[in-house]
Amino acid sequence: MIFSPSRPGIYARGTETVDQILKAALAVLIDEGSDAFTLRRIAARCDMKVGNVSYHFPRKEMLIQVMLDELVDSYGAMMDKTVRRPGLTAEERLRRVIILCLDDIQTKRTTHLFTELWALANHSDFVADRVRVFYERVHGAIGEYVAELNPALSADEVHSVALFISASMEGSTPFLGHGKPWAHKMPAFTALAATSLVHLAKTVTSRDLAGLMAQTA
């Protein structure tokens, strides 16, 4: 017996196969994009036949859902593990989140994956929901530090600041992400982000968040 029966399921081969399919599916999405996200390419990527992929995931939709669930979990776990270390000040923790995120954005995996997910979320309620859940977690973590650094802010204001901090980081993806035109400027970007976003978290006031209804036209 080659595979360890560490997962649910009677036969070890089955759960191993499911893992291979999920891994291959993610790889296809990352390496070839959502246009190429077909059962045939996924099957080819893990040396299987289409029918077998269909056997384990009777609907393509199911494969996508399991894949995204695991993906969001793994990103959440990564964040928790790296950030929630004892003995660090809120400021230091916020700085670490920022650096962690921007480092991660430089990976091909994250650059490609999240741009695909943002696009898919436009027309898929399921993807939109998974993306929302993930960022709720991220914004929640960032918000904790903001609240600690700036106790005068209301919960809603804290969330707005967290949104801004997160957006400032995520917005680097199409500019400085993997393979993007200004990827080489990520060090400067990271330095600026860490400094200015931490400074913002500490100094932002309710007034800054209560501008007039912003309109130009």
Partner DNA sequence: AATGAATGAGCGTTCATTCAT
Partner DNA sequence: TATGAATGAACGCTCATTCAT
CB of 37 to DNA, least distance (A): 7
Q: Which of residues 112, 141, 147, 149 is near its own copies by CB under 8 A? A: 112
Q: Residue 69 or residue 92: which is nearer to its own copies going by CB?
A: 92
Q: Which residue has the tokens 């929901």?
A: 129
Q: What gap in Å lies between CA 116 and CA 172, rounded to an integer?
A: 15
Q: Which of residues 66, 90, 163, 183 is near its own copies by CB under 8 A? A: 163
Residue closest to 21 by CA, chosen among 3, 59, 47, 1: 47
Q: How many residues does the chain have?
A: 217
Q: Which of residues 13, 58, 191, 202 is near its own copies by CB under 8 A? A: 191
Q: Which of residues 38, 52, 65, 82 is near its own copies by CB under 8 A? A: 82
- Residues engaged in binding DNA (CB under 7 A): 1, 7, 9-11, 13-15, 17, 36-41, 48-52, 54-56, 58-61
170 binds its own copies (CB under 8 A): yes
Q: What gap in Å lies between CA 204 and CA 206, rounded to an integer?
A: 7
Q: Residue 39 or residue 67: which is nearer to DNA going by CB?
A: 39
Q: What gap in Å lies between CA 197 and CA 98, rounded to an integer?
A: 8
184 binds, among its own copies, DNA, none (CB under 5 to 8 A by kind): none
- Structure tokens, 71: 């993906």
Helices (H), the chain: 12-32, 39-45, 50-56, 60-83, 90-105, 108-120, 125-149, 155-170, 173-176, 186-203
φ/ψ (deg, to 5) at 44: -60, -40
Q: Residue 11 or residue 182: which is nearer to DNA going by CB?
A: 11
Q: Which of residues 12, 23, 27, 34 is near its own copies by CB under 8 A? A: 34
140 binds, among DNA, its own copies, none (CB under 5 to 8 A by kind): none
